[in-house]
Amino acid sequence: MTTAATPVVRQAEPADIDELIRLRAYLLDGEDSEGGEDDNGTAALPYTASTPEARAAWRTGYRAWLAEALPHDDDVCVAVAPGPGRLSACAIAVIDQRPPSPAYPSGRVVWMQSLITDPRDRGQGLGTTVIDHLFDWALTRGADVAVMQSASGAVDFHRRAGWLPTGEGLYHQPVTTKRKG
């Protein structure tokens, strides 16, 4: 009987930027790998790009953010699982300094986001391995608690992995709009 090898996960490097953009497009462009629309034919999340201009804008901004964060920011970790000639999975962790509370006495909270596995590589444990890498990294940075933002399609995955719902809603409002109220 053979067992599958544990996937290798490493910190992303500047040479990975094009692949990181390709993977994140599965989340932000609402398209599949063949360029079709999502199941509903529309962008389901408020931060999903719905026009070619919006797609170009997030890609340009993400490229610039990665170019700065990957080699220079000790409070950012972009973990990747390399695959055959491409990246198979990735996730981002950002440590945020918040006011201390009973849940995070140091105030250091690690936000994990953009967990993406290439559709060709799903079901191999890559997402879990990438998140485990981020937990190890967060522990070395003194984080007290991890928070994961999840798309509705990944809720079962996160619950199976031990994530607990906070019972708090996550709200979204562009800063550029005039506030109501």
Question: Is the pLDDT at 44 greater than 90, yes or no?
Answer: no
Question: Is the pLDDT at 134 greater than 90, yes or no?
Answer: yes
Mean pLDDT across 134-150: 91
Model confidence band, residue 180 (pLDDT cutoffs 50, 70, 90): low
* pTM score over 0.85: no
Q: Which residues are CB-contacts of 47 (< 8 A; sequence separation ≥ 6)?
A: 28, 172
Q: Compute the mean pLDDT over every residue in the chain, rounded to the nearest whole number.
A: 84
pLDDT tens sequence across 48-100: 888 999 999 999 999 999 999 999 999 999 999 999 999 999 999 999 999 99
pLDDT number for residue 172: 64
CB atoms within 10 A of CB 108: 18
Domain ranges of the chain: 10-160
| CA 41 to chain CA mean position, Å | 23
Question: Is the pLDDT at 32 greater than 90, yes or no?
Answer: no
- Strand, coil or helix: what is 115? strand
Q: Which residues are CB-contacts of 162 (< 8 A; sequence separation ≥ 6)?
A: none
CA–CA gap between residue 100 and residue 97 (Å, rounded) = 9
pLDDT number for residue 39: 42
28 touches 92 (CB < 8 A): no
Q: Which CATH architecture has domain 10-160?
A: 3-Layer(aba) Sandwich (3.40)
Question: Is the pLDDT at 114 greater than 50, yes or no?
Answer: yes
Model confidence band, residue 154 (pLDDT cutoffs 50, 70, 90): confident
- Strand, coil or helix: what is 90? strand
Question: Is the pLDDT at 33 greater than 50, yes or no?
Answer: no
pLDDT number for residue 178: 66
Question: Is the pLDDT at 135 greater than 50, yes or no?
Answer: yes
Q: Which residues are CB-contacts of 112 (< 8 A; sequence separation ≥ 6)?
A: 91, 92, 93, 131, 134, 146, 147, 148, 149
